[in-house]
Amino acid sequence: MLLAIGSLALAGQPIIPIPRQMDIDPDKARLGQRLFSDRRLSRDLSTACASCHDPRRGGVDHRPVSTGVEGRKGKLNAPTVWNAWFNFRQFWNGRAEDLKEQARGPIHNPMEMDMRDELVNARLQADSGYQRDFRRIYGRQPNLEDALDAIVEFERALYTPDSRFDRWLRGDSTALSEKEREGYRLFKRIGCISCHNGINVGGNSYQYFGAVVPVKGLREAGDRYDLTGDDFDRARYKVPSLRNITRTAPYFHDGSVARLDEAVRLMAYHNLGFDLTEEEVDKIVAFLRTLEGKPPAILDGTP
């Protein structure tokens, strides 16, 4: 990986840049893009993937918790689909191994799209455009399995390369200001980096919310405990990615915090035991802003 990127500036840095170019199948990705915004994938025709993960607005819905079919309110904040492919597992508690297994979840979830497979197939097959495209790309009638494959290809295309931070990692020393570099040093020195690292600045381990100082009154929905029933897993989540974090408010699994500076303050206190000064919070937020990448190229029609 390091060799492929080919820059000395990277040596020893715990964060890895997103590739500038990914190998995407453009036909599948464009079909997936249509499916991703298609409300016919929900029982009452009200909800598409894009309703909760707007690809043009950070891959999220900017609500504390999402609303599905018939206005049913969930308990969890929708994580971004941008760069989700780089996460080691999917969902807050990592219950899906990959994006394909993940995408099955909301289609079947009675709180979200509430669909049966036969109904998905029937609706896709009733569309002559889908008939044409599925036959051309997959050589058979439209069906859920191939639809999931196409959606995953679209999601893979939702990568955001060339953030200022990645440019700095690749050796462009002018890409960050002094304040932003100080923010990064602080992020490393106080230990944010121990959980938020790797290509997605997170997304590669399970950790507690409240690792040092437990969070009082924490709404524990969707944690590892939900999956395992083991007390050890209470308030334990997949560490979220911090890429494009300035574009994905509100924050945390329950969407309880609207502001990024507040999220940083809470993280430092509960997960590291530090009370940060205003100035320190400000520097870390300045660093986090440099993780804004280029919006996914597929949105302009060029995967």
Q: Which residues bind ligand HEC (CB under 6 A)?
A: 47, 49, 51-53, 66, 68, 74, 76, 78-79, 81, 84, 87, 90-92, 99, 102-103, 106-107, 112-113, 151, 190-192, 194-196, 207, 209, 211, 222, 237, 239-240, 242, 245, 248, 251-253, 263-264, 267-268, 271-272, 284
In the complex, minimum distance from the CB of residue 77 to ligand HEC, in angstroms, rounded to a whole number: 6
In the complex, minimum distance from the CB of residue 210 to ligand HEC, in angstroms, rounded to a whole number: 8
CB of 17 or CB of 202, closer to ligand HEC: 202
Q: Residues near 79 by Cβ (< 8 Å), separated by ≥ 6?
A: 60, 91, 92, 240, 241, 248
Question: How many CA atoms, within 13 angstroms, populate the side-chain half-sphere of residue 146?
Answer: 19
Query: Is the Cβ–Cβ distance between 131 and 139 less than 8 Å?
Result: no
Q: Residues 260-265: contacts with CB within 8 Å, 24+ apart?
A: 260/285, 260/288, 261/285, 264/288
Tokens of 188: 């490393």
In the complex, minimum distance from the CB of residue 30 to ligand HEC, in angstroms, rounded to a whole number: 15
In the complex, minimum distance from the CB of residue 1 to ligand HEC, in angstroms, rounded to a whole number: 21
CB of 5 or CB of 269, closer to ligand HEC: 269
CB of 68 or CB of 295, closer to ligand HEC: 68
**Distance between CA atoms of 51 and 81, rounded to whole angstroms?**
12
In the complex, minimum distance from the CB of residue 187 to ligand HEC, in angstroms, rounded to a whole number: 6
CB of 5 or CB of 211, closer to ligand HEC: 211
**Distance between CA atoms of 41 and 47, rounded to whole angstroms?**
7
CB of 263 or CB of 286, closer to ligand HEC: 263
CB of 80 or CB of 168, closer to ligand HEC: 80
**Distance between CA atoms of 187 and 283, rounded to whole angstroms?**
9
Tokens of 213: 């100082």
How many other C-beta atoms are found inside a 10 Å radius of the C-beta of residue 210? 17
CB of 17 or CB of 58, closer to ligand HEC: 58
**Distance between CA atoms of 288 and 92, rounded to whole angstroms?**
21
CB of 16 or CB of 113, closer to ligand HEC: 113
In the complex, minimum distance from the CB of residue 80 to ligand HEC, in angstroms, rounded to a whole number: 7
Query: Is the Cβ–Cβ distance between 60 and 79 less than 8 Å?
Result: yes
In the complex, minimum distance from the CB of residue 43 to ligand HEC, in angstroms, rounded to a whole number: 11
Distance of alpha carbon 45 from the chain centroid: 25
296-to-2, 34, 126, 253 alpha-carbon distances in Å: 23, 15, 30, 24
In the complex, minimum distance from the CB of residue 102 to ligand HEC, in angstroms, rounded to a whole number: 5
**Distance between CA atoms of 255 and 236, rounded to whole angstroms?**
16
